[in-house]
Every structure is written in structure tokens, then in C-alpha cells.
Amino acid sequence: MSASSNAIESVLVENRVFPPADSVVKAARVSGMAGYEALCAEANKDPEGFWARLAREHLQWTKPFTQTLDESKAPFYQWFADGELNASANCLDRHMGTPVENKAAILFEADDGTVTQVTYRQLLERVSQFANALKAHGVQQGDRVLIYMPMGVEGVVAMQACARIGATHSVVFGGFSAKALNERIIDAGAVAVITANYQLRGGKELPLKAIVDEGLSMGGCDSIKNVFVYQRTATACDMVAGRDKTFSEILAGQSTECPPTPVGAEHPLFILYTSGSTGKPKGVQHSTGGYLLWAKVTMEWTFDIRPDDVFWCTADIGWITGHTYVAYGPLAAGATQVVFEGVPTYPNAGRFWQMIERHKVTVFYTAPTAIRSLIKAADSDESVHPKNWDLSSLRILGSVGEPINPEAWMWYYRHVGGERCPIVDTFWQTENGGHVITPLPGATPLVPGSCTLPLPGIQAAIVDETGKDLPNGAGGMLVIKRPWPSMIRTIWGDPERFKKSYFPEELGGTTYLAGDGAVRSADRGYFRITGRIDDVLNVSGHRMGTMEIESALVAKTDLVAEAAVVGRPDDLTGEAICAFVVLKRSRPTGEEAKQIATELRNWVAKEIGPIAKPKDIRFGDNLPKTRSGKIMRRLLRSIAKGEPITQDTSTLENPAILDQLAQSN
């Protein structure tokens, strides 16, 4: 056999190719494939020289670095380690005294449609003032601060203010539960929480501060000294005397000038928790220098950002995309960006298109799930079809969070981009800090559903289980063979897990394992991501560990004896969560089964957050296991998909469960 016997088979062939228009090629920063290949050649010939050049060109250093890469403690790589800088100064101060100073940094559109404009000068003042307030309350360099905020200017200000004083932020998405907050506060040893009384989404007021209170009351959060509360709405929330203060209280009397604290390039800028294949969330730690460098460079390469662009990334700051392409990248590049508080379907599913027209957005970056739900809406209601709005300002479209299926890509290309806007289908992960495989708008011929080629300096490859390179056309595991500046530095407080998760011994201990399967096309060598190789699901672009959901189900101890969770393909969300449950009582059927399924869904929402609710819940007398007692997840995946069972089931004690588990509730 030419390919590895355990190669992942790829069945999708895509023959449509869309080369970039000549006008786009001519104007682009990276112009044509020759421009891309020249950068790749520079990076391959002298990697350290390449990265050092970019770091000197793109960042302002308070103390220049003399060492580019230190790999003496691999895989704990260090970049520009003896250099010093400040992330906030590179996003704000550097623009003072330039035309950018009085330009709009953020165009904030609230849930109700109210628009607020903040210039770079105003943003610097707000960040400095907030940084002074943090310092006045004892927050110091190296402290961890947890941020649990709605989408808005205040969330970006909070992140930038932490960076300004050298405190490490950990943002938690506003849809996560009290328990998820509690775990993250304890793991990070946070000294303060920055939150809001409520958030507004889709016309509804949703509590945030009450969830923080619940999380803190679960115990183990003795490290927390302060809770700072932004009053987003007029509705009062409980305040604990001595611990809780409103933004207006802490900002009163604070100066709008705060000198940025220089930190070492390796200083942790933030920790962002992500689901792993075991139950405990992983605190992905990112550096200051390497991370910021890549945030800025990818703004220029992938989005070809220009001074007159209006950039809009729809991601929440609770996810890595909102860190790199809302809170840091656009500001480092001196761009104007739209920040949106609400949801794409409120007051109707034309909201995105209306906003693109209103703000004259030129670069639009969103997730395939959002695109698929808007396709569905436009198909059933002509009045919310993008053709009803003037989208002629758009010049580049982007996709992020999960692979985009070719048909959704074509719709996006036709109906949103009017067949003139390149789509940058970006592949990257929380651990990567910024794009790793993506088309460049003025260089790469596009193929629907393919993230195409790695960025210059990123040595991506596809290998089998032993680390051997696979030929084009054979699917295998996606790896990156050489370190790059914006990569994860460690898992906070757990270096062993970091090595095991990302640099496994079987691959030599220095090759980064992405955890995704991929295949390269036989004709162009383009990459296409085929899905996770571990027990992690990608639901609407959000990574969900199956183990985490299983643990949440089993935590309902009065009802659940055992649970197994798998993913199945879903037209809307990419993957849907399917839970197989054995109860501590007889197996329910009919109406009762539906009732219990609803109870379990609500329970998971409370334990993890609504995004983790299983779409299907199926009950069985027991679960299919191997003789050694391992749950046969492959079999469950087949059942979830409704595929005929081809594997050997003769070892099953109770074959009747196969029919039981096929019934969805």
C-alpha cells in the first residue's frame, strides 16, 4: 500500500477554481503566487532572519531583542526573549502623532442599533484610565484578571488595560456557566473579575454579574479581591460591599494618562481556556511579543488591511478569534473596526447585511455556522436575502472557526461578495494565536472548502501515526514541524499536559500536533481539514470536549448512571452533539423519554453553558463496550449518523441496545 494503512480516507473532490482578479493582485500587499513564494523562500532559507525582520518591522520595542528563537528547552520555545515591549502601546500609543490618532478605532453597534464611535485617541484615554483604576485596586504586573463581559467597547478596554500594566487576562465567553467560571478562576488564581450587570442579546437582558456571584459562591475563589461591574443596563444587580464596585466608582478621579509597563516578550499576555479531550479545560498560555507580531502580520497578509478599510470580525472576545481579530490585530494595524453586541438574526436575519451597508464594511470575517443559518433564513424568507442591501463596499470575505462546506462557500461568494470578493478560508486554533493555513486574497487561486496553503514561515504537513509524511491525496494528521512566534507557550500550570497534548513523544517531541485530520489535494497540494482526530467536537466553530459533556451528564447523580458523547454531521452547526445515556432507573420511552431528555439538556446548559446542549439524547439499557470495558465510540458514531453497522458486534452482551440507541429524543 502506498499510503499509510490508517490514513483517513477523503472522499470530497472539488474542481472549481477561482483565481484572484488582476486588479486585486496588483493592489495586494502579497501580490500573486510569486509574492507568496518569495516570502516562503525567505522563511525556508533563513527562518530566524525572517521572523526577526518581521518583528523589527512590525512592533515597537522598548528594549530591542538580540536573540530570535531559543529552542534549548523544546518544546517550550522562546521567541525574542531578551526584548521588551508592551502590547497596549503597540496597539494605541504608537498611533499617536500619526493620522490614525483621530481616526475611528471602533464603531460599536449595540443590540438595539445605537452606534457609538471611539477614536484611537479616545480609546487610549479610556484604556489608560481603566489601567489606573486596576492599579489603584492593587492589580499588579503578573496578576491574572478574569474578564466576563458582553461584546462592546468596555470588553476591549478591559483587555487592553490589563495588557498595559502587565497583568495577564483570561476572558471567559459570556455564555459559559457559573461552574465554568469557578473552575477558571481557581485554575488561573485570578485576583479580580471584570464583568457587567447584564448583557443584551437579541432584545433580551441576560445576567452576567449574578452568574459571577454564583461561581464565586461555589468556593475555592479566595484569590479574588475585587469584582468590577460595568452597568450595561439600568437594571440593578446584587453588589457585595467591599468586594464589588461599579465602573463609574473605580474610574472616578483616575487620570487618562498611564505609562505602559514594558514586559519581556515571553510575558504571558493572556490565558484562554479551551476544551480538551479530557474533562478539565486547558489554559492555553500566549506570550506578548510573538503573539502580537502574528496578529499584526496576519491583518496585513490575510486581510490585506488598508488605511481606509472598515474591518468587521463578528467573533466574541471570549474566543481566540475575538482576541486576535478584535482586541489586538485591528488596533495594532491602525484599522477601523465594527464591534457588534447582538446576534445575526435580531431583529431579523438581515441584520449582518444591513450593518455591512450601514458601516460600509470592506472586510467581513464570520463563521460558517452563521453563514449556513443565514442561507436557511434567506431561502425561507426573501425579505432577509442579502440582495436587498447594498454590499458593494465589500472587498474581502473571510471564514473562521470550522471548515466551510463548498456549497455554503459558493453562496457566500455569490450572494454576499457578488463574485468579486476573494474568500479567505482561515484555518487556525486557539493554540496557534493567529492564522496558519489560509489563502491570501491577492495571491492564492481559491478552491471552495479548502483553506489552501500555509502562511510563509508555517511548516504544515500531513503525517501518519508514526510521523511519516503522507503523499498528496492521502489523509492523515495535521502537524506543524517548526516553531513559530505566536504558538502556545504552555498549558497554564500543567507543562506535562502541554507536552503530551501537543508535542507527543511518538512524533519526536518537537512536532506540533494540531489534533485535526487533513488531506492535501493531488493537483495543487491544497490543504482541506477533515475534522478532529481526538474526542473534541466542533459545534458552530466552538470546540467542545466530549469528555467534558459526559462528565456534566454523569454529574446528574440522581438520574444518570453512564453517558457517552459523540459528534454527528449537522447541516447547520457542522457537527451536532449526540449523547447516549444509561439511567439509574428503567429506560424511558415516548413522552417520558422526551421529558427526561429536556431535563438533561437544561442540566448540561447549567453545568457548561447553552452551547454544550446535546442535540440528540438517546437512552439505552447499557452502552456498547469492548471486552476490556471500553465504550465502542466508533460504533456509537455510526449509530448517531444513522449508518448501517459494519463492524463486529458479536461481543455485545445485549445486541438489542443498538435499536434502543438509534431512537432520538
Q: Residue 152 is placed in which grid cell?
A: 462592546
Give the count of beta carbons closer than 10 Å to the beta carbon of residue 543.
Answer: 20
CB atoms inside a 10 Å sphere around CB 237: 19
In the sheet that 490-491 helps form, which strands lie side by side, from edge to edge?
244-246, 226-230, 192-196, 144-148, 168-171, 270-274, 282-286, 490-491
pLDDT at 343: 92
> 540 and 321 in contact (C-beta within 8 Å)?
no
SS3 content of the chain, % helix, strand, coil (to 5): 35, 25, 45
Mean pLDDT within 503-528 = 94
Q: How far apart are CA 565 and CA 640, in angstroms?
A: 10
Q: How far is CA 335 from CA 418, 423, 526, in A?
A: 24, 20, 30
pLDDT tens digits along 441-478: 999 999 999 999 999 999 999 999 889 999 999 889 99
Neighbouring C-beta atoms of residue 483, cutoff 10 Å: 21
Check residue 629 and give its pLDDT. 64
Within 13 Å of residue 453, how many CA atoms lie on the same side as its CB?
18
User: Who wins on pLDDT, 652 or 162?
Assistant: 162
* 273-300 pLDDT, tens digit each: 997 666 688 999 999 999 999 999 999 9
The predicted pLDDT at position 392 comes to: 98
* pLDDT at residue 73 tops 80: yes
Query: Tens digits of per-residue pLDDT, 350-393?
Result: 999 999 999 999 999 999 989 988 998 998 999 999 999 999 99
At 548, the pLDDT band (50, 70, 90 cuts) reads: confident
Lowest mean pLDDT among 92-106, 234-248, 403-417: 403-417
Average the pLDDT over 225-244 and give the result.
97
Q: Report pLDDT for 3.
A: 38
Tell me how far the alpha carbon of residue 443 is from its chain's centroid: 25
Distance (Å, whole) CA 203 – CA 351: 13
Rounded Cα gap, residues 146 and 195, in angstroms: 9
Question: In the prediction, which pLDDT does 8 show?
Answer: 46
Decide if 336 contacts 107 (C-beta within 8 A): yes
What is the pLDDT, as a whole number, of residue 647? 67
Q: How many residues does the chain have?
A: 665
Report the candidate in 363, 352, 350 with the shortest Cα–Cα distance to residue 312. 363
pLDDT tens figures, 146-183:
999 999 999 999 999 999 999 999 999 998 999 999 99
Neighbours of 620 (CB within 10 A): 24
- For residue 544, which of 626, 451, 615 has the smallest C-alpha distance? 615
- pLDDT, position 2: 38
Mean pLDDT confidence for 580-595: 94
* pLDDT above 70: percentage of residues in the chain: 95
